[in-house]
Amino acid sequence: DIQMTQSPSTLSASVGDRVTITCRASQSISSWLAWYQQKPGKAPKLLIYKASSLESGVPSRFSGRGSGTEFTLTISSLQPDDFATYYCQQYDRYWTFGQGTKVEIK
C-alpha cells in the first residue's frame, strides 16, 4: 500500500501569509496527486489534481508542485476563507489520503 505523509499536522498563520504544506508518498506516484480543502461539517473540495492542475473555480492563490514522492501545496496569500484542513490524495495505485494539515489562525 502507498502511504501518504503530510507535514506539518497543524500550521498557524495570519491573513496574507504565504503557506506551504508538504506531502510525501512512500513510493513514486508520478504526478497522480490531488489536494482537497475541508471545512468542519462539510465535504472535501477538490483544489488541485494531477499535482499542479488547478480545479475550475479555485482561486489562483492555490498552487501545487511536485512529482515522484514529494509534493507541495502553496497558498500565496492566505485569506480568511482558507482556514481549513487540507488533505493530499494519491491515485497512482488505488486511493490513499494523507492525514491532513489543519491551517489555523495565528
Partner 1 sequence: QVQLVESGGGVVQPGMSLRLSCAASGFTFNYYALHWVRQAPGKGLEWLAVISYDGNNEYYADSVKGRFTISRDNSKNTLYLQMTSLRAEDTAVYFCAKEGSGNPSFDYWGQGTLVTVSS
Q: Would you tell me which residues interact with partner 1 (CB under 8 A)?
A: 1, 32, 34, 36, 38, 42-46, 49-50, 55, 87, 89, 91, 94-100
Q: How far is the CB of 26 from partner 1 (least distance, A)?
A: 15
Q: How far is the CB of 63 from partner 1 (least distance, A)?
A: 16
Q: How far is the CB of 97 from partner 1 (least distance, A)?
A: 4
78 vs 86, beta carbon nearer partner 1: 86
First-last CA distance in the chain: 36
CA neighbor of 64 nearest in space, from 34, 105, 24: 34
36 vs 71, beta carbon nearer partner 1: 36
Residue 80, classed as helix, strand or coil, is helix
40 vs 80, beta carbon nearer partner 1: 40
Separation between Cα atoms, residue 93 and residue 29, nearest integer Å = 8
As a whole number of angstroms, the longest Cα–Cα distance in the chain is 38
Residue 39: partners with Cβ closer than 8 Å, 6 or more residues away: 84, 85
17 vs 67, beta carbon nearer partner 1: 67
